[in-house]
Amino acid sequence: MEATFRALSKHGYVDLRLRDIGDEFEMTRQLIHYYYDGKHDLISAFLEYVIEQYEGSVAVDESDDLWAELDARIDQCLFGPEFASDFDHWDRMRVYHELFSQAQNDDQHREIFNRHYTKIRRSITRVIERGIEQGVFRDVDPENTAQFITDAIHAARGRRISLGHDEAPEQIRRALDEFVISSLAPPGEEPEFKSARSTARN
Amino acid sequence: MEATFRALSKHGYVDLRLRDIGDEFEMTRQLIHYYYDGKHDLISAFLEYVIEQYEGSVAVDESDDLWAELDARIDQCLFGPEFASDFDHWDRMRVYHELFSQAQNDDQHREIFNRHYTKIRRSITRVIERGIEQGVFRDVDPENTAQFITDAIHAARGRRISLGHDEAPEQIRRALDEFVISSLAPPGEEPEFKSARSTARN
């Protein structure tokens, strides 16, 4: 899987040949064919691997501070787990976004992405639901709000990767704070999202 | 260009060969090579063609009713110009989104997309700026707000295409109304976005 990752990073999905993967480690094309039913089967296994890594890396513990938990979940998905050196996160995301766009032609990949997308959205839905139950957030539609947040995160990452807008995740984080997160406060209450953090980030 | 469109729709960018384009009309591969310096050069020309078509089709006249103009601009980008039969819009979008994700490996395509993205974002920025000048909208950052709207539109289209979520554009339209558009009303004033239309759409 790591050899596949190196080969994909080097050649991209469009130009990838099984031979390129074999070149990255000590396995002949014949041996790859023994384990996988061609390029597509290998890439499907690889996609599951990348998504599993990603889901593990962005996992956030449930917290009593729902503002902080929502904040942390968004940041993990937007910026990735490694703040000091984000090389690995963005390398993973480049492959992820390339395969995402190809999923329109591939039912199996589409299925894998749908399962993953549901999982990420549900983790955000759950924080919002708990917040509403506890009266910390106002009564929004948890599912639609989580979907909007998830879409915004996806768009910011895609724009950074495809158009080279390095500032996109920061920009969308600020927009989410301004338009979505701050509006979650019940009427008459101040949102408790960290303006100190926002300021530090700008 | 239309032959390229048919070939791309049929085979996808990944598997596209010049021969497939030739198959779609009366031109040999030799003749394509006479006009274009290979697959990449032809696809770049094609991308410019698709984007030009798209920009032409979503053009909206400036209006004195800035709420309605903002509304129309968002709807055009989200749903495309043909509401009765949206076949052409989504076919175009499928190719557009596939090439967008490939732009990470292609400086020329990245440049074309950046120019286009700036143009679309600017058209939304301008409505917001005019609204603020006229006191119709509150004092938001026009550029960042337009960027957020543009990103949300892009994400909704991508999710519809890649994951098969046909409801994504409607969903994001409602979320934009709830979190972004309605918040543009100056303090104490009701937003003038069309709740009648929203209701009809649900």
- Domains parsed from chain A with CATH numbers: 61-201 (1.10.357)
H-helix or E-strand containing A151?
helix A142-163
What is the distance between the alpha carbons of residues A5 and A133, in angstroms, rounded to a whole number?
42
Among B97, B110, B163, B177, the strongest candidate for a mutation testing the A interface, having the largest count of A CBs within 10 A, is B163
A191: chain B residues, CB-CB within 8 Å: none
A159: chain B residues, CB-CB within 8 Å: 117, 151, 154
Identify the pLDDT of residue A194: 55
Q: Does any CB of chain A come closer than 8 Å to the CB of residue B7?
A: no
Identify the pLDDT of residue B169: 96
Q: Does any CB of chain B come closer than 8 Å to the CB of residue A31?
A: no
Distances (CA, A) of B5 to B21, B57, B99: 8, 17, 12
CA-wise closest residue to A173 among A72, A65, A100, A51 = A72
Q: Which residue has the higher pLDDT, B82 or A76?
A: A76
A98 and B101 within 8 Å at the Cβ level: the answer is yes
A102 and B164 within 8 Å at the Cβ level: the answer is no
Confidence tier at B85 by pLDDT (50, 70, 90): very low
Q: How far is B29 from chain A (nearest CA, A)?
A: 21
Question: Of A52-66, B45-59, B184-198, which gets the smallest average pLDDT?
Answer: B184-198
For range B154-168, the mean pLDDT: 95
A102: chain B residues, CB-CB within 8 Å: 12, 14, 98, 101
Assess contact for B82 and B88: CB atoms under 8 A. yes
Confidence tier at B126 by pLDDT (50, 70, 90): very high
Identify the pLDDT of residue A113: 95
Among A147, A198, A202, the strongest candidate for a mutation testing the B interface, having the largest count of B CBs within 10 A, is A147
Identify the pLDDT of residue A72: 93
Identify the pLDDT of residue B49: 86
Identify the pLDDT of residue A82: 63
3-state secondary structure B22-88: HHCCCCCHHHHHHHCCHHHHHHHHHHHHHHHHHHHHCCCCCCCCHHHHHHHHHHHHHHCCCCCCCHH
Identify the pLDDT of residue B194: 54
B101 and A162 within 8 Å at the Cβ level: the answer is yes
Q: How far is A11 from chain B (nearest CA, A)?
A: 9
Neighbours of A122 (CB within 10 A): 14
Confidence tier at B193 by pLDDT (50, 70, 90): low
A102, exposed or middle or buried, with CB in 10 Å at 0-12, 13-18, 19+? buried
B107, exposed or middle or buried, with CB in 10 Å at 0-12, 13-18, 19+? exposed
Among A17, A104, A128, the strongest candidate for a mutation testing the B interface, having the largest count of B CBs within 10 A, is A104
Distance, CA of A161 to chain centre: 13
Q: Which residue has the higher pLDDT, A97 or A189?
A: A97
Confidence tier at B199 by pLDDT (50, 70, 90): very low
Confidence tier at B82 by pLDDT (50, 70, 90): low
Question: Of A130-139, A144-153, B93-102, which gets the smallest average pLDDT?
Answer: B93-102
- pLDDT > 60? residue B101: yes
Q: Which residues contact B75 (CB under 8 A, 6 or more apart)?
A: B173
What is the distance between the alpha carbons of residues A85 and A82, in angstroms, rounded to a whole number?
6
For range B131-154, the mean pLDDT: 96
pLDDT digit string, tens, across residues A57-83: 778 888 899 999 999 999 999 988 764
Q: How far is B110 from chain A (nearest CA, A)?
A: 6
SS3 helix, strand, coil % of chain B, rounded to 5?
Answer: 75, 0, 25
Neighbours of A44 (CB within 10 A): 18
Q: Does any CB of chain B come closer than 8 Å to the CB of residue A182?
A: no
- In this complex, the residue of B97, B148, B174 whose CB is nearest that of residue A101 is B97
Identify the pLDDT of residue B41: 82
Q: How far is B35 from chain A (nearest CA, A)?
A: 24
Question: Of A91-100, A121-130, A176-185, B147-156, which gets the smallest average pLDDT?
Answer: A91-100
Q: Does any CB of chain B come closer than 8 Å to the CB of residue A183?
A: yes
- pLDDT > 70? residue B200: no
> Which residue of chain B is at minimal alpha-carbon distance from A141?
B175
Q: Does any CB of chain B come closer than 8 Å to the CB of residue A89?
A: no
- pLDDT > 70? residue A198: no
What is the distance between the alpha carbons of residues B147 and B143, in angstroms, rounded to a whole number?
6
- pLDDT > 90? residue A25: no
- Mean pLDDT for chain A? 84
For range A87-109, the mean pLDDT: 84
Helix (H, G, I), strand (E, B) or coil at A76: helix
Confidence tier at A195 by pLDDT (50, 70, 90): very low
Helix (H, G, I), strand (E, B) or coil at A115: helix
Confidence tier at A20 by pLDDT (50, 70, 90): confident
Q: Does any CB of chain B come closer than 8 Å to the CB of residue A108?
A: no
CA-wise closest residue to B22 among B33, B37, B9 = B33
Among B137, B151, B166, B184, the strongest candidate for a mutation testing the A interface, having the largest count of A CBs within 10 A, is B151
- In this complex, the residue of A13, A144, A172 whose CB is nearest that of residue B175 is A144
